[in-house]
Amino acid sequence: MEQAILEAAERLFLERGFALTSTTDIAREVGCNQSLLNYYFRSKERLFQMIFEDKVRVLLSSLKEPMDSNIPFLDKVRVLCEGHFDIVSRNPRVPLFLLHEIHTNLQRLESFKEIINGILGDISPLFEKELNREMQKGTIRETTFFDILMTMVSLNIGVFLFHPILEDVLVQHQIHVENMLRARRKENARILLVSLLP
Amino acid sequence: MEQAILEAAERLFLERGFALTSTTDIAREVGCNQSLLNYYFRSKERLFQMIFEDKVRVLLSSLKEPMDSNIPFLDKVRVLCEGHFDIVSRNPRVPLFLLHEIHTNLQRLESFKEIINGILGDISPLFEKELNREMQKGTIRETTFFDILMTMVSLNIGVFLFHPILEDVLVQHQIHVENMLRARRKENARILLVSLLP
DNA sequence: ATTATCTATAGATCTATAGATAATGC
DNA sequence: ATTATCTATAGATCTATAGATAATGC
């Protein structure tokens, strides 16, 4: 039951957000009593926090691996970007969910930052070291880790943020969603890479 | 009063979204009675719709002008992109607001599409004609209006979506928000342009 | 007279808790 | 005995409406 509640809560919170999801809705989805949520999770807010923090971790998990490998810097950037796209692709509702919940309740930014700092703290120095080396060699233009990350994340979450709006356009132009996504995955990485060239 | 209600509603809806804003909140903000909202706007939903549709129009308004001028195609793209950034910059909460309200209530997609089609219907053929000409000349690579738009909007709304998250990073690195925004405005247009080169 | 504003309230939620009952593990 | 589940409900919203009063325009 505890697990079933978590899963139903995840589905509903991701779909409608905290405010529009009532504990009664979740209980109905699970097929149990509303008061059972409080038995296991103490309050709606705490149940929500578990989902929220889990999703933050999931979304950031993609950033870690590529930095450890031994390939050239620009290849790392490509792997990083495509890996990030894949994670977002498997969790298409998560970016908008996190952004909205942070904007409407800045308290949540705290736990978000804790998690993100834990992960970026590891990667950032490694990445910046390599980045500086390349910039000195002149193989890439003057930039920062911050800028690269911003470009990458903006491009990669774009398609998923616009998904409901795009659906219409795609049908109209007879484009298959999967084809478009595959193309965008490559295109985003390509854009990120050319944006780095001098 | 009617105007005051609209303004307060706009502020609160943009800040917290439909679900977290009560008509009582709006009335308190205005300093009037809660039932007055129903007198002027019939229901919370209808009041919301006025704001929502207005914001859709505002956000799309930036797309129109540059297409009419007589400058080279790539310059048009730059002007389009920087103009779009400026509009978003003046309405930093609007993108997330619209995206969230559409996702949580797909009904709203209908009025959104009507407005967007009205505006894109004008621009799209003009843009595509010039685009095709350039592609044939070989001055830009094979692409579509759809892809260019997606890249542009993704990049331009990024900074504003991440704003609360970034604030911390900026303070830490002693970067002024305005400087960062100015840099991003130029950088986004630059990225969009290099992404189009063969 | 008409329009604008207020008071009061019905009816529908929604969350959390108290306390009862059922199921499980020793 | 302990843990899991349910019933019932208090107390806090929240939206929309009915009907009273105040302000305005002719």
User: Within this chain, do residues B38 and B61 fall inside the same structural domain, yes or no?
Assistant: no
Segment A136-159 mean pLDDT = 96
Looking at the predicted structure, is the pLDDT value of residue B118 above 90?
no
User: Looking at residue A25, what is its pLDDT?
Assistant: 97
**Protein CA at B27 to nucleotide C1' at C6, angstroms:** 13
User: Within this chain, do residues A117 and A85 fall inside the same structural domain, yes or no?
Assistant: yes
The DSSP secondary structure of A80-132, one letter per residue, reads: HHHHHHHHHHHSTTHHHHHHHHHHH-THHHHHHHHHHHHHHHHHHHHHHHHHH
User: Within this chain, do residues B94 and B133 fall inside the same structural domain, yes or no?
Assistant: yes
- The number of domains in chain A is 2
The string over B54-92, giving b where at least 16 C-beta atoms fall within 10 Å of a residue's C-beta and e elsewhere, is ebbeebbebbeebbeeeeebeebbbbbbbbbbebbeebb
Which CATH number covers residue B109?
1.10.357
Report the chain B residue with the minimal C-alpha distance to residue A99. Answer: B161
User: Within this chain, do residues A98 and A32 fall inside the same structural domain, yes or no?
Assistant: no
User: Within this chain, do residues B93 and B24 fall inside the same structural domain, yes or no?
Assistant: no
The residue range of the domain holding B95 is: 51-196
Q: Which residues touch strand C (CB under 7 A)?
A: A 21-25, 34-35, 37-38, 42-45; B 1-2, 32-36, 39
Looking at the predicted structure, is the pLDDT value of residue B117 above 90?
no
User: Within this chain, do residues A6 and A83 fall inside the same structural domain, yes or no?
Assistant: no
In terms of pLDDT, which residue wins out, B169 or B190? Answer: B190
User: Within this chain, do residues A105 and A21 fall inside the same structural domain, yes or no?
Assistant: no
User: Within this chain, do residues B26 and B120 fall inside the same structural domain, yes or no?
Assistant: no
Give percent of chain B with pLDDT exceeding 70: 100
Looking at the predicted structure, is the pLDDT value of residue A120 above 90?
no
Which CATH number covers residue A6?
1.10.10.60
Tokens of B98: 């619209």
User: Within this chain, do residues B134 and B174 fall inside the same structural domain, yes or no?
Assistant: yes
User: Within this chain, do residues A17 and A59 fall inside the same structural domain, yes or no?
Assistant: no
User: Within this chain, do residues B121 and B177 fall inside the same structural domain, yes or no?
Assistant: yes
Looking at the predicted structure, is the pLDDT value of residue B67 above 80?
no
User: Looking at residue B1, what is its pLDDT?
Assistant: 86
Q: Which of B17, B153, B155 sits opposite A104 (nearest CB)?
A: B17
For residues B94 and A181, what is the distance between their CA atoms, to the nearest angstrom?
26
CB atoms A158 and B154 under 8 Å: yes
Looking at the predicted structure, is the pLDDT value of residue A12 above 90?
yes
User: Within this chain, do residues A16 and A109 fall inside the same structural domain, yes or no?
Assistant: no
**Protein CA at B23 to nucleotide C1' at D14, angstroms:** 8
The widest CA-to-CA distance across chain B, in whole angstroms, is 64
Q: What is the pTM of this model?
A: 0.94
Per-residue pLDDT tens for A22-71?
999 999 999 999 999 999 999 999 999 999 999 999 998 888 777 778 89
Give percent of chain B with pLDDT exceeding 90: 83
Looking at the predicted structure, is the pLDDT value of residue A109 above 80?
yes
For residues A151 and A81, what is the distance between their CA atoms, to the nearest angstrom?
10
Looking at the predicted structure, is the pLDDT value of residue B122 above 90?
no
